[in-house]
């Protein structure tokens, strides 16, 4: 298996509506930054891998066909990955696999959503004949699971508020953030309206337009890159069915198995100590403690302690979502890849104000569907 390096990363400024750019314009904004970072241009790319969430969010079927022109893909292979919310992560993994399999030298991967162009809310709750109507929205699906976690773990009721506060403070240090609350406080979050009890408005992710792009290369091509690469140390994906008897949706086995395989491939036996920081898919603040347990960073039932102790803060011993996370920017199709990209940004020392000092190994995590699709990677500053 070949080594894979990430030599260029670019993101758009994420926002509610990016009406200043067309759909291809949004992607090219991210790609231009990635190219500048990588010191390459369109002619240097061998293949393109696109990821995004359901086509109904924008109303174009199989958009890789339309985007082929804007992505400079004519004459090249182009793939489009779709694994629900984890898509950004699985797209990065597919792109990396093209390098790791020795098929291409340089791959451009981009994930995006321009959900302001369609009606994402409609697409997420559309009534399908013969199926039960979704009456409670995405938050309504996850809120009962969060309540189950609170019961199981006996976590303090304000754990979610603390996570949201941390992520929103981190967002102030990330120029690409969509939601920016310069005056955010614990009380502001606590007093924001409850949407699906126990989830409050300010503990919830936004709906954003945005894109993220990465240039991945072989080891040989990485030598020509002007900036320090991040190296892929391990990747893993797992899926489980949505509904089956005895399914644990709070601590899904697919997540645990995925993390276990990931650590084994990366040679990690103590993830809390051996990983310096993590970008984890947290669309509702309570998912941070839940994922800390699912990822084996904290023992089962104790994920919330990490939050309370400040361990997951930017200056803690295991910073999580230094970028502000999904709570701050959520172009659905891109969010998973943003996590993967931010992990790489950390080990390349490029994170500016939200940099974890001396980060050598970082975890990128994405999930989707009913907590059933998982994609993860470990990237490092050192060549594996």
Partner 1 sequence: MSEAKPVRAISTPIRLEYSYTAGRASTRFLRGMAQGRILGQRCPECGKVYVPPRGSCATCGVPTEEEVEVTGKGTVTTFCIVRIPSENLSIPPPFTCAHILLDGADLPFFALIQECPFDQVRMGMRVEAVWVPKEELGPTFECIKHFRPIDEPDAAYETYKEHL
Partner 2 sequence: MRDVAIVSYAQSRSVRRELGANEVEMVMPVVREAVERSGIPKKQIGFTVSGSCDYLAGQPFSFVSALDAIGAWPPISESHVEMDGAWALYEAWVKLQMGEVDSALVYSFGKSSMGDLPEVLTLQLDPYYLAPLWPDAISLAALQARAFLERTGRSERDLAAVAARSRRDAKASPRAQLAGDFDVERLLADPYLVAPLRKHDCPPISDGAAALVLAAGDLARKVARRPAWIRGLDHRVEPHQLGSRDLTTSVSTAEAGRRAGVGKGAVDLAELHAPFTHQELILRDALGFGDGVVVNPSGGALAGNPMMVAGLARFGEAAERVMRGDAGRAVAHATSGPCLQQNMVGVLEGE
Binding site for partner 2 (CB under 8 A): 1, 22-23, 54-62, 64-69, 73-84, 90, 93-94, 97-98, 100-103, 123-124, 126, 128, 236-242, 244, 252-254, 257-258, 369, 372-373
* Cα angle 87-91-96, degrees, rounded to a multiple of 5: 150
Cα–Cα distance for residue pair 6/20, rounded to 1 Å: 29
C-beta of 14: minimal distance to partner 2 in Å?
21
Cα–Cα distance for residue pair 6/96, rounded to 1 Å: 9
236-255 positions binding partner 1, by CB under 8 A: 241-248, 250
Token readout for 99 is: 């390098």
Q: How many residues bind to partner 1 according to rule CB under 8 A?
A: 42
C-beta of 352: minimal distance to partner 1 in Å?
32
Q: Which does 197 bind (CB under 5 to 8 A by kind): partner 2, partner 1, none?
A: partner 1
Cα–Cα distance for residue pair 102/31, rounded to 1 Å: 23
| Peptide bond between residue 198 and the one before it cis (omega within 30 degrees of 0) | yes
Cα–Cα distance for residue pair 95/152, rounded to 1 Å: 38
- Could you say whether residue 194 binds partner 1 (CB under 8 A)? yes
User: What three-state secondary structure class fits 366?
Assistant: strand
Q: Which does 246 bind (CB under 5 to 8 A by kind): partner 2, partner 1, none?
A: partner 1
Q: Is the dihedral of CA 295, 299, 301, 305 positive or negative?
A: negative
**Cβ atoms of 123 and 56 closer than 8 Å:** yes
State the DSSP H helix or E strand holding residue 188, giving kind and residue range, or none if neither. Answer: helix 186-190
- Could you say whether residue 43 binds partner 1 (CB under 8 A)? no
C-beta of 251: minimal distance to partner 2 in Å?
13
Q: Which does 62 bind (CB under 5 to 8 A by kind): partner 2, partner 1, none?
A: partner 2
Cα–Cα distance for residue pair 300/165, rounded to 1 Å: 23
- Could you say whether residue 154 binds partner 1 (CB under 8 A)? no
- Could you say whether residue 121 binds partner 1 (CB under 8 A)? yes
Instruction: List, in sequence order, every residue forming a beta bridge with 205; answer none if it has no partner.
Output: none
Q: Which does 349 bind (CB under 5 to 8 A by kind): partner 2, partner 1, none?
A: none
C-beta of 266: minimal distance to partner 1 in Å?
29
Cα–Cα distance for residue pair 44/217, rounded to 1 Å: 10
Of 138 and 171, nearer to partner 2 (C-beta) is 138
Of 34 and 258, nearer to partner 2 (C-beta) is 258
Residue with tokens 């924001």: 192
Of 69 and 197, nearer to partner 1 (C-beta) is 197
Choices 70-78, 82-90, 101-109, 193-201 (CB under 8 A): range interacting with partner 1: 193-201
Task: Count how many Cα atoms sit within 13 Å of the Cα of residue 230 in the half-sphere of its side chain.
Answer: 33
Of 25 and 384, nearer to partner 1 (C-beta) is 25
C-beta of 134: minimal distance to partner 1 in Å?
6
Q: At what angle do helices 287-294 and 159-171 cross, to 10 degrees?
A: 100
User: What three-state secondary structure class fits 108?
Assistant: strand
300-339 positions binding partner 1, by CB under 8 A: none
Q: Which does 82 bind (CB under 5 to 8 A by kind): partner 2, partner 1, none?
A: partner 2
From residue 199 to residue 228, the character string flagging contacts with partner 1 as x (rule: CB under 8 A) and all else as - is x-----------------------------
Task: Count how many Cα atoms sit within 13 Å of the Cα of residue 238 in the half-sphere of its side chain.
Answer: 20
Checking DSSP bridges between strand 277-279 and strand 209-217, what pairing results, if any? unpaired
State the DSSP H helix or E strand holding residue 266, giving kind and residue range, or none if neither. Answer: helix 253-266
Of 376, 49, 1, 97, which Cα lies nearest the Cα of 212?
A: 49
Of 12 and 115, nearer to partner 2 (C-beta) is 115
- Could you say whether residue 123 binds partner 1 (CB under 8 A)? no
Of 184 and 332, nearer to partner 2 (C-beta) is 332
Interface ranges with partner 1 (CB under 8 A):
19, 59, 121-122, 125, 127-137, 140-141, 143-148, 151-152, 193-199, 241-248, 250
């Amino acid at each position: 298996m070949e080594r894979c390096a990430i030599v260029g990363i670019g993101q758009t400024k994420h926002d509610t509506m990016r009406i200043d750019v067309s759909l291809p314009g949004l992607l090219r904004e991210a790609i231009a930054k990635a190219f500048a970072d990588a010191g390459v241009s369109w002619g240097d790319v061998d293949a393109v891998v696109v990821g995004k969430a359901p086509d109904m969010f924008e109303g174009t079927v199989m958009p890789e066909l339309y985007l082929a022109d804007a992505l400079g893909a004519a004459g090249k292979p182009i793939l489009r990955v779709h694994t629900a919310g984890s898509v950004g992560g699985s797209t990065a993994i597919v792109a990396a696999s093209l390098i790791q399999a020795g098929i291409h030298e340089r791959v451009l991967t981009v994930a995006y959503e321009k959900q302001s162009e369609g009606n994402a809310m409609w697409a997420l709750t559309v009534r399908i004949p013969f199926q039960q109507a979704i009456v409670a929205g995405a938050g309504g699906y996850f809120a009962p699971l969060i309540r189950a976690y609170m019961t199981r773990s006996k976590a303090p009721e304000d754990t979610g508020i603390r996570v949201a506060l941390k992520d929103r403070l981190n967002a102030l240090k990330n120029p690409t953030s969509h939601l920016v609350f310069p005056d955010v406080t614990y009380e502001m979050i606590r007093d924001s309206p409850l949407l699906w009890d126990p989830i409050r408005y300010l503990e919830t992710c936004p709906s954003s337009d945005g894109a993220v792009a990465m240039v991945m290369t072989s080891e040989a091509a990485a030598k020509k890159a002007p900036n320090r690469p991040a190296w892929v140390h391990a990747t893993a994906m797992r899926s489980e069915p949505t509904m089956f008897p005895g399914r644990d949706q709070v601590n899904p086995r697919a997540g645990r198995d995925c993390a276990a395989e990931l650590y084994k491939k990366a040679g990690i036996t103590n993830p809390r100590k051996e990983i310096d920081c993590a970008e984890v898919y947290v669309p509702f603040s309570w998912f941070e403690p839940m994922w800390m347990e699912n990822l084996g960073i904290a023992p089962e039932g104790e994920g919330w302690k990490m939050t309370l102790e400040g361990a997951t803060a930017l200056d803690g011993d295991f910073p999580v979502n230094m970028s502000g996370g999904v709570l701050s920017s959520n172009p659905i199709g891109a969010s998973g890849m943003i996590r993967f990209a931010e992990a790489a940004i950390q080990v390349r020392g490029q994170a500016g104000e939200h940099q974890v000092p001396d980060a050598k190994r970082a975890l990128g995590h994405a999930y989707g569907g009913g907590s059933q699709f998982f994609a993860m990677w470990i990237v490092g500053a050192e060549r594996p």
